[in-house]
Structure 1
Amino acid sequence: MAAIEGILFDKDGVLFDFQKTWGAWTKGVIAGFADGDPGLAKRLADVLDFDAEAGTFRRGSFVIAGTAQQVVDALSRELPDWEPDALYNHIKQQTARAPQVEAVRLRPTLDALKARGLRLGIATNDAEAAARANVASVDALEPFDFIAGSDSGFGAKPAPGMCLGFAQAMGLPPEALVMVGDSTHDMIAARAAGFARVAVLTGVATHADLAPHADAVLPDIGALGAWLDARGE
């Protein structure tokens, strides 16, 4: 069993609690686009598989592991007055400003992992600029050595490009790296890249959803230190 030398994190549902961060934000964005039209608001919620009354995404929503472009493509069908590029830029700007709810206290958690000598990265299907802004908003940007979004040139998960990009950028073999995610997309990408796979339960997927695809399922990233200790790291 190779020693772990680096950890690659998904962003939403891993660093940040998915429903608490994006539920309220999505409700507000839908209201802004609908501008008082309840029929349009319902259609927008439906295409995102979003429960507007509860303010949460349904477990099967593509948004949970989807790319920013996929969200724009879905919304475009109901917003014909928006040019696709303008809609993409608008959504990207809005996501960059979304208030983030940390899954755990991020900075001390990340600093503790860095103190072990680990290299840290982010691989998200969100846009890279939005990811950087989200992490910076909670003073957690500095510990990361690598940040890639679906628009960074590595492709999007579940393809392994971002994982392999992290390995190459860090100069480390895949077997010395672990991907931490909250979706099967993350686990599939990690497996294809030859990474160890750790799932966390701060997204929408359940333990039963994730366990068949992961080497370990943890409650949140705050448990990574104990997981590393149990491996003898």
Structure 2
Amino acid sequence: MVAEDNRVLAAPSNIAGILFDKDGTLLDFDASWAPVNRKLAQIAAVGDAELADRLLAACGMDPLSGHLVPDSLLAAGNSREIGEGLIAAGAPFDLEVLVPLIDDLFASAAELSVPVTELEPLFARLRRRGLRIGIASSDNERSIRVTVQRFGIGDYVDFVAGYDSGHGSKPGPGMVLGFCAETGLAPHQVAVVGDNNHDLHMGRNAGVGLKVAVLSGTGSRQSLEEACDILLNDITELEAVLD
């Protein structure tokens, strides 16, 4: 973790691959997702403003402040889990109708997302270190690929997994194991970087060598520090850990 004087403790020397979460890790969560979550609630409420506010609150977002509860459905859930939560809170939809609407909204939102930092130079530097790179998100795979293309990082990304890619969902180990199968790495050679406990617990369940938490998303120092090995403000500090 980050020491009290902000020194960054060193990463294990055998790390050969990094598996990034997307939202809140590579992308600024509030800038990218607050308006999307509000639109989602409007869709699920069929235009009923009062119901939309109730749906947001039930899924973890304060409808007034926009604050997200760490590890809540809107902070860490996949489209199906979010759909189930919306319906349980009163959205008048069948799940099989609502989930495609959520996936379509999230994919279109990827075109408007805001990165935490310039991603292409960062990924290029990580590749020059010889690192294999993957992205594992609770979002759908289509949205991740739109993000990869939009920010010009396709040449550096070896693996992409969403909740619908066949590797299971977080916090299960499947996305990490899929990354390992794609790259030939063992789990202990992998670092997982994410902004909530679904990411960190995925890493733990897969036996990764390093679990890195970032404070650029929905998690807080209090909610993250128990499950991580290193706690950073955001991914701009990651290279110092690797050094």
TM-score by length of 2: 0.87
Match of 2:182 in 1: 169
Match of 2:87 in 1: 76
Matched, 1:111 2:124: yes
Q: 1:144 is matched with which residue: 157, 164, 172?
A: 157
Distance (whole Å) between structure 2 residues aligned to residue 122 and residue 36 of structure 1: 34
- 1:60-94 per-residue CA deviation (whole Å, 9 max, x = no partner) reads 522211111101112224232x3322211111011
Match of 1:133 in 2: 146
The 8 Å contact of residues 61 and 74 in structure 2, kept in 1 or not, is answered as no
Match of 2:100 in 1: 89
Distance (whole Å) between structure 1 residues aligned to residue 169 and residue 44 of structure 2: 27
Distance (whole Å) between structure 2 residues aligned to residue 86 and residue 79 of structure 1: 11
Structure 1 residue 175 displacement after superposition: 1.4
Q: 2:23 is matched with which residue: 12, 25, 28?
A: 12
Match of 1:158 in 2: 171
Distance (whole Å) between structure 1 residues aligned to residue 47 and residue 178 of structure 2: 44
Instruction: In structure 2, list runs of 5 or more residues that go unmatched.
Output: 1-11
Give the residue type in structure 2 aligned to 1:197. Answer: K
The 8 Å contact of residues 160 and 190 in structure 1, kept in 2 or not, is answered as yes
Distance (whole Å) between structure 2 residues aligned to residue 120 and residue 152 of structure 1: 17
The 8 Å contact of residues 119 and 145 in structure 1, kept in 2 or not, is answered as yes
- 1:119-146 per-residue CA deviation (whole Å, 9 max, x = no partner) reads 0001111111122123323333332100
Q: Which 10-residue stretch deviates more, 44-53 or 27-36?
A: 27-36
Count matched residues: 228
Match of 1:123 in 2: 136
The 8 Å contact of residues 45 and 52 in structure 2, kept in 1 or not, is answered as yes
Q: For residue 24 of structure 2, give the secondary structure of its aligned residue in structure 1.
A: coil
Q: For residue 236 of structure 2, give the secondary structure of its aligned residue in structure 1.
A: helix
Q: For residue 56 of structure 1, give the secondary structure of its aligned residue in structure 2.
A: coil
Match of 1:221 in 2: 235
Structure 1 residue 32 displacement after superposition: 4.1
Q: How does 1:14-29 map to 2 (within 5 A)?
A: 14-29=25-40
Q: For residue 152 of structure 1, give the secondary structure of its aligned residue in structure 2.
A: coil
TM-score by length of 1: 0.91
- 1:159-185 per-residue CA deviation (whole Å, 9 max, x = no partner) reads 111111111110011111110011112
Distance (whole Å) between structure 1 residues aligned to residue 91 and residue 153 of structure 2: 35
- 1:80-120 per-residue CA deviation (whole Å, 9 max, x = no partner) reads 2x332221111101101112111111111111111111100
Structure 1 residue 2 displacement after superposition: 4.6
Q: Which 10-residue stretch deviates more, 28-37 or 177-186?
A: 28-37
Distance (whole Å) between structure 1 residues aligned to residue 18 and residue 24 of structure 2: 16
Give the residue type in structure 2 aligned to 1:133. Answer: V
- Over the aligned positions, Cα root-mean-square deviation in angstroms equals 1.7
Structure 1 residue 56 displacement after superposition: 3.3
The 8 Å contact of residues 179 and 197 in structure 1, kept in 2 or not, is answered as yes
Structure 1 residue 198 displacement after superposition: 0.8
Structure 1 residue 54 displacement after superposition: 1.8
